[in-house]
Structure 1
Amino acid sequence: MAVWIQAQQLQGDALHQMQSLYGQHFPIEVRHYLAQWIEGQLWDSVELENPQDELKAKRLLDSLVQELQRKAEHQVGEDGFLLKIKLGHYASQLKSTYDRCPLELVRCIKHILHSEQRLVQEANNAVGSGGGGGTMDSLSQRHQQINQTFEELRVSTQETENELRKLQHNQEYFIIQYQENLRIQAQLSSLSAVPAEERTQRETSLQAKRATVEAWLTREANTLQKYRLDLAEKHQKTLSQLRKQQTLILDEELIQWKRRQQLAGNGGPTEGGLDVLQSWCEKLADLIWQNRQQIRRAEHLTQQLPLPGPMEELLTKLNSDITDIISALVTSTFIIEKQPPQVLKTQTKFAATVRLLVGGKLNVHMNPPQVKAVIVSEQQAKALLKNESTRNDSSGEILNNNCVMEYHRTTGTLSAHFRNMSLKRIKRSDRRGAESVTEEKFTVMFESQFSVGGNELVFHVKTLSLPVVVIVHGSQDNNATATVLWDNAFAEPGRVPFVVPDKVLWPQLCEALDMKYKAEMHSARGLCDDNLVFLAQKAFSSASINQEDYRNMTMSWAQFNRESLPGRNFTFWQWFDGVMELMKKHLKPHWNDGAILGFVNKQQAQDMLMSKPNGTFLLRFSDSEIGGITIAWVAENPNKAGERLVWNLMPYTTKDFSIRSLADRISDLNHLMFLYPDRPKDEVFSKYYTPPLSKAVDGYVKPQIKQVVPEFTTPNPEPSSGNPTYMDQAPSPSVAHPINFAIFPPISDPMMDADGEFDLEDTMDVARHVEELLRRPMANQWDGQQS
Structure 2
Amino acid sequence: MALWSFVCDISPELFNGYSEEFPHNLRCFLGDWLEKYPWEFITGSDTFNTYMADSLLSAMMEKLQELANKNCQPSLILQLTANLENAYRRDPLQLARTVKQILEAERVVVQNKFQCLPLSFHRQQEELKFGFDLKRLQYKLQEIQALCGNLENGSRASLQINTVDPQFSTQGEQQVNALRALFSEAAKDLETTKTRLLKRLDIWKRQQQLAGNGTPFDEDLAPLQKRFESLMDVCFKLRQQLVALSAQLGPDLLSCLQECLENVFNTLIKSAFLVDKQPPQVLKTQTKFQATVCFLLGSQLFKVPQTAFSVCANIVTEKQARELAAGCPDASLSESTGEIVNNLAPLEISATSGACCAVFKNMLLKKIKRSDRKSTESVTEEKCAILFSARISLGSNNTTFLLQALTLPIVVIVHGNQDNNAKATILWDNAFATKDRIPFVVTERVPWGSMCETLNQKFMAEVQTSKGLLQEHYFFLAQKIFNNNNASYKDFQNRCVSWSQFNKEILPNRGFTFWQWFEGILDLTKKYLKDYWSDRLIMGFVSKDYVSSRLGNAPAGTFLLRFSDSLIGGISIAYVIRLPNGSCQVENIQPFTAANLSVRSLADCVRDLEEIQILYPNRPKKEAFRNYFNEELPRKTNKEYIPTQIRITVGTSSDPAPQEQNLHNSVSNLNMSPGIPTDLYPGLPPPPEINWMSQGNTLPLDSVDSHLLLQESEMDICLPDLNCHGVMDYHMALDPLIKDSARPIFSFSSHYFGTSCFSGKSDPVMDKRKKSKGGEKDATDSKEEEET
Once residues 496 and 250 of structure 2 are traced to their aligned partners in structure 1, the CA distance between those partners, rounded to angstroms, is 61
Give deviations 1:593-634, integer Å, cap 9, x for gaps.
Answer: 101111122232223223111111111111111111111111
Counterpart residue number, 1:720: 696
1:257 aligned residue (184, 204, 229): 204
CA contact (8 A) 2:539 2:561 kept: yes
What is the CA–CA distance in structure 2 between the aligned matches of 1:425 and 1:552, rounded to whole Å?
44
Match of 2:234 in 1: 287
Shift of the alpha carbon at 1:677?
1.2
Partner of 2:623: 683
- In 2, Cα distance between equivalents of 1:450 and 1:227: 40
Displacement of 1:227 in angstroms is: 4.8
1:708 and 2:649 matched: yes
SS at match of 2:390: strand
TM-score by length of 2: 0.68
Post-superposition Cα deviations, 1:492-548, rounded to whole Å, max 9, x if no partner, equal 111111111111111111111111111112222111111001001001111112211
Paired position in structure 2 for 1:596: 538
Offset, 1:731: 12
Kept in 1: contact 2:653–2:745 (CA 8 A): no
**Deviation of the 1:253 alpha carbon:** 1.3
Give the partner amino acid of 1:532. Answer: Y
1:177-201 CA-partner distances (Å, limit 9, x unpaired): 6xxxxxxxxxxxxxxxxxxxxxxxx
Helix, strand or coil at the partner of 2:547: helix
Say yes or no: does 1:231 pair with 2:173.
Answer: no
What is the rounded CA distance, in whole Å, between the counterparts of 1:529 and 1:372 in structure 2?
48
Q: Which has the larger radius of gyration?
A: 1
Alignment deviations for residues 1-45 of structure 1 (CA, whole Å, 9 cap, x no partner): xxxxxxx998599699xxxxxxxxxxxxxxxxxxxxxxxxxxxxx
1:416 is the counterpart of 2:370: no
Q: After superposition, where does 1:213-612 map in structure 2 within 5 Å? A: 213=162, 215=164, 227-228=175-176, 230-250=178-198, 252-272=199-219, 274-299=221-246, 302=247, 311-363=250-302, 366-388=306-328, 389-612=331-554
What is the CA–CA distance in structure 2 between the aligned matches of 1:476 and 1:126, rounded to whole Å?
55
| Cα offsets for 1:465-500 (capped at 9, x unmatched) | 111111112211111111111111111111111111
Q: Offset at 1:433?
A: 2.6
Q: Superposition pairs for residues 5-16 of structure 1, below 5 Å?
A: none
Residues 398 and 424, structure 1, Cα contact 8 Å, conserved in 2:
yes
Contact 1:693 1:702 in 2 (8 A): no
**Aligned-residue offset at 1:565:** 0.8
| Aligned position for 1:757 | none
Instruction: Please report the RMSD computed on the Cα atoms of aligned residues, expressed in angstroms.
Output: 3.7
The 1-side partners of 2:743 and 2:731 are apart by: 15
User: Residue 221 of structure 1: CA displacement?
Assistant: 7.7
Superposed, which structure 2 residues align to 1:39-188 within 5 Å? 137-171=121-155
Partner SS state of residue 558, structure 1: helix
Unmatched tracts of structure 2, length 5 or more: 1-29, 39-102, 655-692, 698-725, 752-776, 782-788
Secondary structure class of the residue paired with 2:245: helix
- Which structure: greater helix fraction? 1
The one-letter code sitting in structure 1 at the alignment partner of 2:280 is P
> Mean Cα displacement is larger for which, 615-624 or 389-398?
389-398
Shift of 1:431: 0.9
Going from structure 1 to structure 2, the CA distance change for 1:708 and 1:729 (only over 3 Å counts) comes to closer
Q: Take 2:617 and 2:635, find their aligned partners in 1: how far apart are those partners? A: 38
CA, structure 1 residues 290+238, in 2 after alignment: closer, same or farther (shift >3 Å)? Answer: same
Question: How many equivalent pairs are there?
Answer: 584
Amino acid at match of 1:317: C
1:582/1:627 contact within 8 Å kept: yes
- Tell me the distance in 2 between the aligned counterparts of 1:695 and 1:728: 28
CA contact (8 A) 1:364 1:451 kept: no
8 Å contact kept, 1:264–1:271: no
Instruction: Specify whether residues 373 and 731 from structure 1 end up closer, same or farther in structure 2 by C-alpha distance, changes over 3 A only.
Output: closer
**Which residue pairs with 1:660 in the alignment?**
600
TM-score (norm 1): 0.68
SS of 2:276's partner is: strand
Q: Does 1:674 align with 2:614?
A: yes
CA contact (8 A) 2:421 2:503 kept: yes
Distance 1:399 1:698 in 2: 56
Kept in 2, the 8 Å contact 1:666–1:672? The answer is yes
Query: Distance in 1 between the 2:728 and 2:339 partners?
Result: 62
Deviations 1:124-153 (A, max 9, x none): 999969699999944333322221111111
The one-letter code matched in structure 2 to 1:422 is L
| Residues 401-428 of structure 1: per-residue CA shift (max 9 Å, x gap) | 1111222344332122222212111111
The percent identity for this pair of structures is 38
Q: Secondary structure at the match of 1:548?
A: helix
Asked if the contact 1:711–1:726 (Cα under 8 Å) also holds between the matched residues in 2, the reply is no
Give the aligned partner of residue 642 of structure 1: 582
Corresponding residue to 1:741 among 728, 741, 748: 748
Distance 1:137 1:479, change over 3 A: same
Going from structure 1 to structure 2, the CA distance change for 1:373 and 1:730 (only over 3 Å counts) comes to: closer
The answer to whether the Cα contact below 8 Å between 1:671 and 1:712 also exists between their aligned partners in 2 is no
Measured in 1, the distance between the counterparts of 2:743 and 2:338 equals 49
**Partners of 1:615 and 1:635 within 8 A in 2:** yes
Q: Is the 8 A contact 1:710 1:725 kept in 2?
A: no
Between 622-631 and 445-454, report the one with greater CA deviation: 445-454
Worse overlay, 681-690 or 386-395: 386-395
1:52-78 Cα offsets, whole Å, 9 max, x none, are xxxxxxxxxxxxxxxxxxxxxxxxxxx
Greater alpha carbon shift after TM alignment, 471-480 vs 219-228: 219-228
Partner of 1:708, secondary structure, is strand
Q: Can you list the C-alpha shifts for 1:436-465, whole angstroms capped at 9, x where unaligned?
A: 111110111111122333345432111111
Please say if residues 632 and 648 of structure 1, whose CA atoms lie closer than 8 Å, have aligned partners that are also in contact: yes
Tell me which amino acid in the other structure corresponds to 1:463. Answer: A
Q: Give the conservation status (yes or no) of the 8 Å contact 2:448–2:497.
A: yes
